[in-house]
Amino acid sequence: MTDLNAYMTGVGEAARGAATLMAAAPTAAKNAALLALARRLRETGPALAAANERDLAAAVGAGLEAPMVDRLRLTPKVLATVAEGCEQIAAMPDPIGEITGVKRRPTGISVGQMRVPLGVFGMIYESRPNVTIEAASLAIKSGNACILRGGSEALHSNLALAALVADSLEEAGLPREAVQLINTTDRAAVGLLIAMPAFVDVIIPRGGKGLIERISREARVPVIKHLDGNCHSYVDAEVDLDLAVTVVDNAKTQKYSPCNATESLLVHAKQAADFLPRIGMVFAAKGVEMRGCERALALLEAVPRDLLKPATPEDWDTEYLAPIISIKIVDSLDEAIAHINRHGSHHTDAILTTNHVSAMRFLREVDSASVMVNASTRFADGFEYGLGAEIGISTDKFHARGPVGLEGLTSMKWVVLGQGEIRS
Amino acid sequence: MTDLNAYMTGVGEAARGAATLMAAAPTAAKNAALLALARRLRETGPALAAANERDLAAAVGAGLEAPMVDRLRLTPKVLATVAEGCEQIAAMPDPIGEITGVKRRPTGISVGQMRVPLGVFGMIYESRPNVTIEAASLAIKSGNACILRGGSEALHSNLALAALVADSLEEAGLPREAVQLINTTDRAAVGLLIAMPAFVDVIIPRGGKGLIERISREARVPVIKHLDGNCHSYVDAEVDLDLAVTVVDNAKTQKYSPCNATESLLVHAKQAADFLPRIGMVFAAKGVEMRGCERALALLEAVPRDLLKPATPEDWDTEYLAPIISIKIVDSLDEAIAHINRHGSHHTDAILTTNHVSAMRFLREVDSASVMVNASTRFADGFEYGLGAEIGISTDKFHARGPVGLEGLTSMKWVVLGQGEIRS
């Protein structure tokens, strides 16, 4: 334990030192490191494969389920995708150093804001080793240092990837310690990482709700996180029904596991008799279980019995991440907004409407990180929003909200430019 | 205690309800409430005076020192100043509803960001009752609800001011509960206020370091705070000496108690022999004690002995808020930046220089909320920065950094405008 303390303090100090250098690093050097990393990811097949095989063999030996083992696998396709991601981030504008809003004040000073890195971020994630490269590439471009703690089942793969990152940094004249991977599976390392405010400026957890709740509770530094994605699609009193069926179908069924999939459907009473039987048959054909309020169930009579259930109060608060959807009929836009603000998780919610006033009220009054009009909730994603890459999605209102890309890893400081002004 | 729990829950629920209405309130109504409040502050002399007299009498009776009693006093001048503040905030543009950066994505959706209120903020402050009006007016304009907890010695004054606020809100058709003052001096109320994430989105403490440390440690919601203002002025190797003397003098001596006063002076060795004797005589004339490194003391020989002391290691970390300054000679810009980043409190730091490269490096590399070139650190202030008003100064990197005005009380959410787009 004393050794672990010393190890983590060493990692923290090295990260803080590297962060100072990264903050001042030229854009060209950061891009060179990213391009070198992309090249190494494509070239360094055998060494990576050997490390990955060790993790895969251990996972199979430990009896991990096949989908979990698959997530560990660094196939040439996975490596090509993360290499391409590095090249895309290299091609993006450097967010650091941008000075905005400089205004001359009556006293003579000019005041503006400069975008700077946050410093050091700690990232705690599970399973998929490609997250190691995603986090590293965002850290490099945003001028931060990072400390990565991946899943223990991916340790050898992550160490091999982190070595490629360090070599690429060095090749570009940047500090190897800008991206460090914690080289132990000791779980106490997480507890130390989240409680080093002197060395770590923010923690970004990616994983199950249990992990994120524990980190939020125990962290002594800010955490960028989202817990639930209990997302809603609301079909308004005035709506294009064909469009609504297409979008709601996509929002629920295009994929069941992402956090931005719709989990709850609200339908205005005026449209329920027309809309619900249609979407009900679409869901039924895909085997989606419908948990409805009493009025909704009455309109879903054509749906096979085994896919229909009365909704319990808990259903309104549940993120299923599965082929299940809760359905409620509401009598007004006000009721829909109040329901979403009370039961939703402030992640992503959409209205389907042709009424401008409804659309604007929904955008303003629904208190969520992403609010949408006539689009699938599945669009809530850093790539889809044009951020180039995403380190996570935040349901906090502070700092980064919604998909977090390069800018979410920066901070704005005030700059004052004077010619000897003094305050009177 | 059960009663206090129930009371605070009631306050929290009322605030959350009011916040929903305030978020959707028209700009005209918010401005009308602010102008009504300004009018009432000017007109309601006698009732306010009676409440204020009760607090003043109690304070004198309890043996409070005269400066503390003075800070409690609501003179006509103090009331005129806060009334004017309300009018200024009414005249400012409404930050809420602004939609920025809307861009069309290849999928067809348009993605942008909308500025919305944070929701409910809790403010914990000491002594001066005019803070009640400052916080209330910022809450109203930014579309937030707030829960105020003032000092117990100002309770009657604060209650009288809060009643004016509630009447003004009602006159403008807004909810009285948008601004609530906690009507008890029970200290347990603070502990409850900072641990109600369901009702409170952010806590803003204003007061001594002990109060702020306790709140930061125990809060279960985000805190906008600054702990220390250990601000530096650094005199570079190339400098206009007359300008440097004027600015450093102002930064240290214009007022000793504000958090943005300079506490530590760094001087490049090349300028020390010319600069230190001059600034030393300026400080000496004002009775400022100088705690210097060995080399600095050697150059301050003309200063009376009783104003000179060798600096101890603690001096580099100390915010004096008094006529004392620590002085160190450095051999390079690098050493100055490293010293500031290590010993400063990331609040406000200034460089005095005529060298462009030094200026730009200082701006980029000093990790503080405000960084300045050739200006007095005393300028770090919401009014001086043109924010119109200031609810506090933040040394956090997250969300609001530096002086916090209306925008610091808002959040940006993503808006997606579609025509039925789905994700493929």
User: What ipTM describes this predicted complex?
Assistant: 0.87
Q: CA B401 to CA B52: how far, in whole Å? A: 34
* CATH at residue B378: 3.40.309.10
Q: CA A234 to CA A341: how far, in whole Å? A: 13
Task: List chain A residues with CB under 8 Å of B201.
Answer: 397
Which residues of chain A have a pLDDT value below 50?
A: none
What is the chain B residue with the closest CA to A203?
A: B398
What is the chain B residue with the closest CA to A348?
A: B414
Q: Which pLDDT value is given to residue A392? A: 84
Q: For residue B116, give every residue at least 6 positions away whose Cβ sits within 8 Å of its Cβ, in sequence order, or none.
A: A364, A367, B23, B96, B97, B143, B410, B411, B412, B413
On whether residue A180 sits in a domain, the answer given is yes
Contact of B240 with chain A, judged by CB distance below 8 Å, is answered with: yes
Same domain, B74 and B173: yes
| pLDDT tens profile B211-232 | 888 898 888 888 888 878 999 9
What is the chain A residue with the closest CA to B368?
A: A413
Contact of B248 with chain A, judged by CB distance below 8 Å, is answered with: no
Same domain, A187 and A317: no
Same domain, B321 and B195: no
Sheet-wide strand order for B410-421 = A308-310, A289-292, A324-330, A262-268, A231-235, A348-352, A370-375, B410-421, B110-117, B99-104
> Please, what is the average pLDDT of chain B?
94
Q: For residue A365, give every residue at least 6 positions away whose Cβ sits within 8 Å of its Cβ, in sequence order, or none.
A: A337, A341, B20, B23, B24
Chain A residues 317-346 within an 8 A CB cutoff of chain B: 341
On whether residue A389 sits in a domain, the answer given is no
Mutation site for B-interface testing, chosen from A16, A120, A416 by largest number of B Cβ within 10 Å: A416
Contact of B411 with chain A, judged by CB distance below 8 Å, is answered with: yes
Task: List chain A residues with CB under 8 Å of B346.
Answer: none
CB contact under 8 A, A371 and B416: yes
Same domain, B214 and B252: no
On whether residue B393 sits in a domain, the answer given is no
Alpha helices in A148-208 (DSSP H): 155-171, 188-193
Domain count, chain A: 2
- Output the six-digit token pair for B413: 């959410």
Name the amino acid, one letter, at A294. E
3 state DSSP class of A110? strand
On whether residue B422 sits in a domain, the answer given is no
Domain region containing A363? 231-384
Distance between B10 CA and the closest CA of chain A, angstroms? 17
Q: Which pLDDT value is given to residue B30? A: 98
Closest CB to A420: pick one of B247, B371, B420.
B247
Helix (H) or strand (E) holding B186: none
Residue A324 Cα to chain centre, angstroms: 23
CB contact under 8 A, B421 and A374: yes
> Torsions phi, psi of B384, nearest 5?
-65, -30
Closest CB to B370: pick one of A23, A107, A416.
A416
Same domain, B176 and B270: no
Same domain, B341 and B277: yes
Given a contact cutoff of 8 angstroms between Cβ atoms, the answer to whether A113 and A100 are in contact is yes
CB contact under 8 A, A250 and B411: no
* CATH at residue A199: 3.40.605.10
In chain A, the largest separation of any two C-alpha atoms, in whole Å, equals: 79
Contact of B4 with chain A, judged by CB distance below 8 Å, is answered with: no
Same domain, B191 and B235: no
Task: Between A236 and B208, name the one with better pLDDT.
Answer: A236
Contact of A97 with chain B, judged by CB distance below 8 Å, is answered with: yes
| pLDDT tens profile B159-203 | 999 999 999 999 999 999 999 999 999 999 999 999 998 899 999
Q: CA A149 to CA A180: how far, in whole Å? A: 9
CB contact under 8 A, A369 and B111: no
Same domain, B150 and B57: yes
Contact of B24 with chain A, judged by CB distance below 8 Å, is answered with: yes
pLDDT at B59 over 90: yes
Same domain, A252 and A292: yes
Same domain, A285 and A168: no
Contact of B102 with chain A, judged by CB distance below 8 Å, is answered with: no
On whether residue A179 sits in a domain, the answer given is yes
Same domain, A213 and A235: no
Contact of A110 with chain B, judged by CB distance below 8 Å, is answered with: no
Distance between A185 CA and the closest CA of chain B, angstroms? 29
CB contact under 8 A, A413 and B371: yes
Contact of B360 with chain A, judged by CB distance below 8 Å, is answered with: no
What is the chain B residue with the closest CA to A352?
A: B420
On whether residue A109 sits in a domain, the answer given is no
Task: List chain A residues with CB under 8 Å of B417.
Answer: 372-375
Closest CB to B365: pick one of A23, A375, A403.
A23
On whether residue B240 sits in a domain, the answer given is yes
Given a contact cutoff of 8 angstroms between Cβ atoms, the answer to whether B221 and B34 are in contact is no
Q: Which pLDDT value is given to residue B397? A: 82
Helix (H) or strand (E) holding A74: none
Task: List chain A residues with CB under 8 Å of B419.
Answer: 243, 374
Name the amino acid, one letter, at B47. A
Q: What is the mean pLDDT of residues B143-152?
A: 96
Name the DSSP letter for residue A301: T
Closest CA to A200 of A257, A123, A270, A131: A123
Same domain, A81 and A140: yes
On whether residue B317 sits in a domain, the answer given is yes
| pLDDT tens profile B76-100 | 999 999 999 999 999 999 999 999 9
Q: Residue A249: count other Cβ atoms within 10 Å of its Cβ.
A: 21
Task: List chain A residues with CB under 8 Å of B199.
Answer: none
| pLDDT tens profile B250-279 | 999 999 999 999 999 999 999 999 999 999
Closest CB to A201: pick one of B397, B413, B418.
B397
Chain A residues 115-134 within an 8 A CB cutoff of chain B: 116, 118-119
